[in-house]
Structure 1
Amino acid sequence: MLVAFSVAPSGTGRADGSVHDAVAAAVRIVRESGLPHRTTSMFTEIEGEWDEVMDVVKRATEAVLPFGSRVSLLLKADIRPGFAGELDGKIERLENALAESDLGEGD
């Protein structure tokens, strides 16, 4: 399964609204998990079996709790039994489709 999630504290009391320290605590948990992952400016994607992925998401969320009075978690999951390597596989298929369509434009 693939999970894309974003976790952030609110009620931090910071005038600038910055949450980078809290996000760093969450991403540290993901990186230490050993599961395939990717972090972008808005989400962290992680791949693995249901229980192991959800455990990492739970621990990452708990790591953010000390940074505010509440935590927001946004999660999207792609549950596709029997598939692995989709963190990169989906991107490769997209890039191939784009390349194929670009080749057809010159006809």
Structure 2
Amino acid sequence: MATVNLSLQVIPKVEDERTYEVVDEAIKVIRESGVKYLVGPMETTMEGELDTLWEVVKKAQDACIRAGASRVMSVIKIDYKPEGVTMEEKIHKYRS
């Protein structure tokens, strides 16, 4: 299967002062998954096979619930092309 980019934004239903704490738990799941990822101010973008990334998404949502969220809304964006797509091809010209 081709490499895809998947961006995940989790929006946990918690008290405002706990939002970052709970989002950090989702990012921890992504980090520990071993997939290539890049944390941004509004979402985290991952690179890999789609089936693998879906599993990471499910685990990240579960991590938010375990951290105390009563609900998790997620925004997911996927960039797919048959020959594969990388984060590097999109952002290399913006990195110094």
- TM-score > 0.5 by shorter chain: yes
Counterpart-to-counterpart distance in 1, 2:83 and 2:45: 19
- TM-score after normalising by structure 1: 0.76
Q: Which residue of 1 aligns with 2:79?
A: 78
Consecutive unaligned residues of structure 2, counting only runs of 5 or more, are: none
Counterpart-to-counterpart distance in 2, 1:88 and 1:27: 20
Q: How many residues align?
A: 89
Query: Cα RMSD over matched residues?
Result: 1.5
**1:3–1:53 Cα contact (<8 Å) kept:** yes
Consecutive unaligned residues of structure 1, counting only runs of 5 or more, are: 97-107
Greater share of strand residues, 1 or 2?
2
Counterpart-to-counterpart distance in 1, 2:59 and 2:81: 23
Higher relative contact order (CA 8 A, sep 6+): 2
User: In the alignment, is residue 5 of structure 1 matched against residue 31 of structure 2?
Assistant: no
List per-residue Cα deviations over 1:59-89 (Å, max 9, x = no partner): 00110013222111011100112225x1111
Residue identity (%): 30
